[in-house]
Amino acid sequence: MTFEQSLCIGLAVASTAGFFSVLAQFVIAYLQRRNEQKKYFREKLLDRYSEFFSEAAKDLERAKDEHSTIAHGGKYPEGMESLDSARKTSRVQLLRLSFWVWLVERDPILCNKIEKLANSQPFMALRVPVEWGQVGYQKRFDKFKEDINTFEQEIISIIDLIRSRHPE
């Protein structure tokens, strides 16, 4: 083997090694970036879940306050307006956060449960009639209490599902 042949083989081996080392650096950089991006979106998703359940808990407490006010004979003008206003604000926030979760969450079961929870806000139409014994009032009042309990159980079940699907 001549010196020129040895030199050509050495240069070929060195350039091949250099090419594969640069290629490996690009692959590593791509994989690291993808991992960081995945971690970022997971953290954002968990932040949105936290906001969503904070808003759901506020709405649950609002519904319980409304229920107890009605049960103790509260009149609409005496504090019920603020609860009704809070219900409307909470509804908008729950829908906004459920949409954000829907955009990022890859699990369709969780998306559906979050959307269902956002749409199942406890509400009692015609909350304070002229008389407690008005036709159908007790039935609506009992259904309102049942809706509150269902809402609370849904919150707990979805949190458990999220913990199982998104472990630390």
Torsion region of 125: left, alpha or beta (phi above 0 gives left; psi -120 to 50 gives alpha): beta
Q: Which of 145, 146, 126, 148 is nearest to 136 (CA)?
A: 126
Q: Is residue 12, in this structure, part of any structural domain at all?
A: no
How high is the pLDDT of residue 130? 46
DSSP state of 1: -
Q: Is residue 22, in this structure, part of any structural domain at all?
A: no
DSSP state of 75: -
Residues 1 and 7: their CA atoms lie apart, in Å, by 10
The position carrying tokens 């913990």 is: 163
Residues 166 and 168: their CA atoms lie apart, in Å, by 7
Q: Is residue 8, in this structure, part of any structural domain at all?
A: no
DSSP state of 2: -
Q: Is residue 33, in this structure, part of any structural domain at all?
A: no
The position carrying tokens 């829908």 is: 95
Let me know: does 127 contact 80? Beta carbons within 8 Å.
yes
How high is the pLDDT of residue 158? 93
Q: Is residue 29, in this structure, part of any structural domain at all?
A: no
> Half-sphere exposure of residue 139, counting CA atoms within 13 Å on the CB side?
3
Q: Is residue 9, in this structure, part of any structural domain at all?
A: no
Domain that holds residue 86: 42-165
Q: Going residue by residue through the chain (168 aa), what tens digit of pLDDT does each one get? A: 787 888 888 888 888 988 899 999 999 999 999 999 989 988 999 999 999 999 999 999 988 888 887 777 655 546 677 777 888 899 999 999 999 999 988 889 999 999 999 998 888 765 454 455 566 677 888 888 999 999 999 999 999 999 998 877
Q: Is residue 47, in this structure, part of any structural domain at all?
A: yes
For the entire predicted model, the pTM comes to 0.74
**Backbone dihedral angles phi then psi of residue 134, each to the nearest 5 degrees:** -55, 145
Domain count, the chain: 1
Rounded-to-10 torsion of CA 54, 55, 58, 64: -120
The position carrying tokens 């229920």 is: 67
